[in-house]
Structure 1
Amino acid sequence: MGEDYLEELIDRNLVIVARRRINGRVKNCRIHDLLHNLCISEATKSKFDISNNTFSNSITEGHRTTSHLPANCKISTKRAFLHLKGDQKLEQEHFKSIDQNFRFIKVLRVEYQTLPSFLLDKFINLVDLTYLELRGDGRLEVPRTISNLRSLETFDVQGCENVTLPTVIWKMQRLRHILLPVLAKFQNVSKSKNPKIEVNLPNLQTLYTLNGYSMRVEFLKEFTNLRKLGIWCSMEQIGILLKDSIPISNKMETLILQINEDDPNIASTNFSRYFSSNQNLGSASPQLNFSVYGNLVDLHLEGSIRKLPELPISLNKLTLAGSRLEQDPMEELGKLANLKKLQLRAYSYIGSEMVISESCFFPSLEEFILEPMPALKTLKVEGEVMPKLKCPRINCEIKLEIHSESNITHKANELLHEEEIVETQTAALDGAPPSVIALYNEKTSEVIQLTSNITHKANELLHEEEIVETQTAALDGAPPSVIALYNEKTSTLLAPSAVDSFELNPGIYGTMMPFWFDNQDFTSFCLMKEITANCILLYQTYLFQKLNESSLTKKYVFIDPTIASIGSGMTEDRATELNSKLGVLVPGQLALKPLNVGMHWLLLVIDPYTNTVHIFDSLNEGVHQQIKDVLDPTFKLFNADKQLNLSTTISYEIVQCPRQSGNTECGYFVLQFMRDIINKHDTQLKSLYNDAMAFPQELLDEVRIEWIQFYRQVK
């Protein structure tokens, strides 16, 4: 219902959608300052207030919401109540008279370590309650009298580890959303398979996650208004559920099926059994058919199904895990015109080769995630596919082969029109450190044979659409080991770029972050061309490791160079994104943020607690307007979130630092700036450099050697 209200506000242009989910639902939204102020004003008039982590003497003056409850609080007009669990047990005196002092309460959320049994009986008397959420580690047995909550619409015990529920919840007609843990038990249910339970939930929209052994799966078809269903059951039960052409609900939008052949009361919930090597593949599996679910946008299948099911064209998101598909699924999946996100998780496919061809175009796919599959050795991409792909994540070691007809034709036409000898770029490596030369020779794919048969080869490409195999050029004066490695690693002219994937230490950016290097990253780095964000990411990871070794992690925080970059979205969105990263800082910490302001890298050292930004710019161009456009609103958001009440004036400090002499060294200077800041952490930032002389090449080479050594370490 809340989502319906939100959509109505959007339709009236009172709320602006900032970002939508894959399925089109609203993920983030914004409102104008004037409307925000109006909401605050009206909330104050109606005594609707939210208190976070603090209490004031005015809490008993009739506020309608709170996030914590003091022991002496007695409020009869409170309409919503939120209690957040601390480290202590929930104190009983807080709730001795909850059914009297909070009789108008509508929203109740309790996190507990040990929930007193009498307390549930108190909750049952809150007849106006519409939302009840319980979370905790201890044992919880919900009484049958929960049916007294005749206004209850949302019942959430998903966060309870050990919960027993009465079957009467299946008769609470007002319920719209039921969220359960996988191993939830039901009172007075026999151990027989698929026990019969009476149900009467005409308004139910969400049921997640249902243990298939707790009720007969056929009764799910009585929930005709279901939009989201998560179920954990056997393949036999799934077959019963999907055996005919009548869907469980024509309104189904999200369906999560976790297939389990073990006893659900003793099996673990990580489903690792699907991935064991002795999985029985000989047993028959029914052919699943989801094509009748015309409104289904999100489908998650976990467990051995062996055959790709029939899928509806409406799908936006598909996740397969442990499916053990025997045939390559890409041809069929590529025909799903609305598919935007595809996740192929561990053991979803047991073949050795996967092919993405023009017959499986993936016209709308934006995100593609491929996780480890031991049998998979090769991923082939043929033709122009996935035109809207933004986020590919290949988190496994496989051979990637890309054959593009348009690329072949383009290269061949270049050769035919130019009809000249193509020179290699090895001359640019003169004087570079041996490790740089070795890495370049390993990763380069631009060397072409200096012979007169180029035109002949080009014609072969145009007419026969072959990939030209090139021969390496001699590296005059290079050591034999370098030449050997070069000959080993160089690829053909039109072969795909090799891809190396890594997962960054989750400590550096707050989450496990995979990223990929292709040959462009390596060749640019080796030839001292414009550095890519990937190269900066890897060096930040190296510096983060050094910080851990020297216990300096409390002084510096690294921010991803792609965050809030110029041209990456609306200014408000970039400020919000950057503010979310700065939110982890504590007073005294500095954030190191490389920023590209349009073909030029510089380094920002941000201290939001003092409204100070130090700018390290190898061109010494002053304060770019692009910097102010992002940081000014970012600091406003930060000050509001932290309730700092600082001045709105930001101090931009220009550090007199070494200047670059060429056009492409800025990124390497940023690496050196970060290195110097950490190595000289006791030095004031503005005193870090005594002159503005350029960094000598030998010093930049030290950074590049460190980069290469770390790359080989984590490779």
Structure 2
Amino acid sequence: MWIAEKLIIVNSGNMREAESLADDVLNDLVSRNLIQVAKRTYDGRISSCRIHDLLHSLCVDLAKESNFFHTVHNAFGYLSNVARVQRITFYSDYNAMNEFFRSNPKLEKLCALFCFTKDPCIFSQLVHFDFKLLQVLVVVMPRKYNDRIIIPNKIGNMSCLRFLRLKGDIDAKLSNSIVKLKCLETIDIEKSGIELPCGVKESKQLRHLRYGRSRQASNGWCSISPFSRNIFSLPPNNVQTLMWLDDTLFEPRLLHRLINLRKLGIEKIFDSIVKIIRVVYDYEKIKYY
């Protein structure tokens, strides 16, 4: 997410990846006791972290003063210098968010939007707003709905979008229009019931894909085919994170194509597949289950 917002930029001449630089920044914050590690991966990398309540409150106050980000709990919150707001988090229903954007239609510099809502209409309504510079979109829905949720094709009009995370019991399918998002680097739908479109393989800038296990298991071939059956249509050196692959769809040729891979998640992995991975790809940051 830091990379998507260009808070971390790789200078010309620097041979390191932006993801490695982001790890350094995170570890530096830990060493200075500004954040605490909540969980680590098997290889010692930080998986999740937390921040002390007092420090969190201080960060929020400073962010508001500097116009770095704002939090809106209802439609009646007032933001100073609203036209220059770059990041907004909504903890409210759709009506509150809709009223806010209708009252403030000229959020021309908005680059990050976080929505924590129970309203299933959130997707169909978001596309009606003109987010020309939006780079980060996160939608979290805590409730489960019996009906299938519609994610409109117009999501493909968010031309600057680089980071997309959808989380919750969301039964939906992403539109093939996301293929038009030439800047999209991260799709994180791991903790949701969302299906990927087959056309996602055409996203040449895609670097990180986190895909739901349960949805993959129920959809088999269609769910992960962009990264198994059609691997030779993928450009090399882009995908760094690929989770979760079904072992029945795993092909060793995939690793030859994705030579920049840093993290791989395979469900129900067998010893035979582990041997293939070790032979084909000698990298240290592999994660398999």
User: TM-score under structure 2 normalisation?
Assistant: 0.66
**Shift in alpha-carbon separation, 1:65–1:175, aligned structure 2, 3 A:** same
**Correspondence for 1:275:** none
Q: Does 1:148 align with 2:148?
A: no
Q: Does 1:48 align with 2:77?
A: no
**Correspondence for 1:77:** 109
Corresponding letter in the other structure for 1:57: Y
**Correspondence for 2:7:** none
For the residues of structure 2 that align with 1:123 and 1:90, how far apart are their CA atoms? Answer: 14
**Correspondence for 1:106:** 135
Correspondence for 1:251 among 278, 283, 288: 283
Corresponding letter in the other structure for 1:167: C
**Correspondence for 2:199:** 168
Correspondence for 2:275 among 213, 236, 242: 242
State the structure with bigger RCO (CA 8 A, min sep 6), 1 or 2. 2
For the residues of structure 1 that align with 2:124 and 2:224, how far apart are their CA atoms? Answer: 38
**Shift in alpha-carbon separation, 1:225–1:207, aligned structure 2, 3 A:** same
**Shift in alpha-carbon separation, 1:16–1:23, aligned structure 2, 3 A:** farther
- Checking the alignment, whether the CA contact within 8 Å between 1:16 and 1:29 is kept in structure 2 is no
Q: Does the residue aligned with 1:246 lie in a helix, a strand or coil?
A: helix
Q: Does the residue aligned with 1:169 lie in a helix, a strand or coil?
A: helix
Q: CA deviation at 1:233?
A: 5.2
Q: Percent identity?
A: 19
Correspondence for 1:7 among 4, 8, 24: 24
* 1:498-537 to 2 correspondences below 5 Å: none
Q: Does 1:57 align with 2:71?
A: no
Q: CA deviation at 1:177?
A: 1.5
C-alpha offsets along residues 378-397 of structure 1, whole Å, 9 cap, x if unaligned?
A: xxxxxxxxxxxxxxxxxxxx
Q: Does 1:206 align with 2:233?
A: no
**Correspondence for 1:218:** 253
**Shift in alpha-carbon separation, 1:44–1:217, aligned structure 2, 3 A:** farther
Unaligned runs of 5+ in 1: 258-715
- Checking the alignment, whether the CA contact within 8 Å between 2:240 and 2:260 is kept in structure 1 is yes
* 1:329-344 to 2 correspondences below 5 Å: none
Q: Does the residue aligned with 1:242 lie in a helix, a strand or coil?
A: helix
Q: Does the residue aligned with 1:89 lie in a helix, a strand or coil?
A: coil
C-alpha offsets along residues 650-699 of structure 1, whole Å, 9 cap, x if unaligned?
A: xxxxxxxxxxxxxxxxxxxxxxxxxxxxxxxxxxxxxxxxxxxxxxxxxx
Q: CA deviation at 1:62?
A: 3.3
- Coordinate RMSD, CA, aligned: 3.9
**Correspondence for 1:685:** none
For the residues of structure 1 that align with 2:127 and 2:26, how far apart are their CA atoms? Answer: 40
**Correspondence for 1:134:** 166
**Correspondence for 2:6:** none
Q: CA deviation at 1:148?
A: 1.3
**Shift in alpha-carbon separation, 1:214–1:139, aligned structure 2, 3 A:** farther
Q: Does 1:90 align with 2:90?
A: no
Q: Does the residue aligned with 2:133 lie in a helix, a strand or coil?
A: coil
- Checking the alignment, whether the CA contact within 8 Å between 1:167 and 1:186 is kept in structure 2 is no
Q: CA deviation at 1:125?
A: 1.1
**Correspondence for 2:8:** none
User: TM-score under structure 1 normalisation?
Assistant: 0.30
**Correspondence for 2:5:** none
Q: Does the residue aligned with 1:221 lie in a helix, a strand or coil?
A: helix
For the residues of structure 2 that align with 1:96 and 1:252, how far apart are their CA atoms? Answer: 41
> How many residues end up aligned between the 2 structures?
243
**Shift in alpha-carbon separation, 1:171–1:186, aligned structure 2, 3 A:** farther
**Shift in alpha-carbon separation, 1:195–1:14, aligned structure 2, 3 A:** closer
**Correspondence for 1:16:** 32
* 1:275-294 to 2 correspondences below 5 Å: none
Corresponding letter in the other structure for 2:135: K
Q: Does the residue aligned with 2:254 lie in a helix, a strand or coil?
A: helix
**Shift in alpha-carbon separation, 1:212–1:105, aligned structure 2, 3 A:** same
For the residues of structure 1 that align with 2:157 and 2:183, how far apart are their CA atoms? Answer: 11
Q: CA deviation at 1:70?
A: 1.4
C-alpha offsets along residues 471-498 of structure 1, whole Å, 9 cap, x if unaligned?
A: xxxxxxxxxxxxxxxxxxxxxxxxxxxx
Q: CA deviation at 1:231?
A: 0.8
- Checking the alignment, whether the CA contact within 8 Å between 1:228 and 1:254 is kept in structure 2 is yes
Corresponding letter in the other structure for 1:63: V
For the residues of structure 1 that align with 2:274 and 2:190, how far apart are their CA atoms? Answer: 24
Corresponding letter in the other structure for 1:242: K
For the residues of structure 1 that align with 2:243 and 2:224, how far apart are their CA atoms? Answer: 22
Q: CA deviation at 1:137?
A: 3.5
- Checking the alignment, whether the CA contact within 8 Å between 1:152 and 1:174 is kept in structure 2 is yes
Q: Does 1:180 align with 2:224?
A: no
Q: CA deviation at 1:136?
A: 4.4
- Checking the alignment, whether the CA contact within 8 Å between 1:110 and 1:134 is kept in structure 2 is yes
Q: CA deviation at 1:28?
A: 4.6
The structure whose Rg is larger is 1
**Shift in alpha-carbon separation, 1:187–1:111, aligned structure 2, 3 A:** farther
For the residues of structure 2 that align with 1:38 and 1:159, how far apart are their CA atoms? Answer: 28
For the residues of structure 1 that align with 2:83 and 2:170, how far apart are their CA atoms? Answer: 35
C-alpha offsets along residues 542-578 of structure 1, whole Å, 9 cap, x if unaligned?
A: xxxxxxxxxxxxxxxxxxxxxxxxxxxxxxxxxxxxx
**Shift in alpha-carbon separation, 1:30–1:70, aligned structure 2, 3 A:** closer
**Shift in alpha-carbon separation, 1:212–1:97, aligned structure 2, 3 A:** same
Unaligned runs of 5+ in 2: 1-17, 91-95
Q: CA deviation at 1:131?
A: 1.0
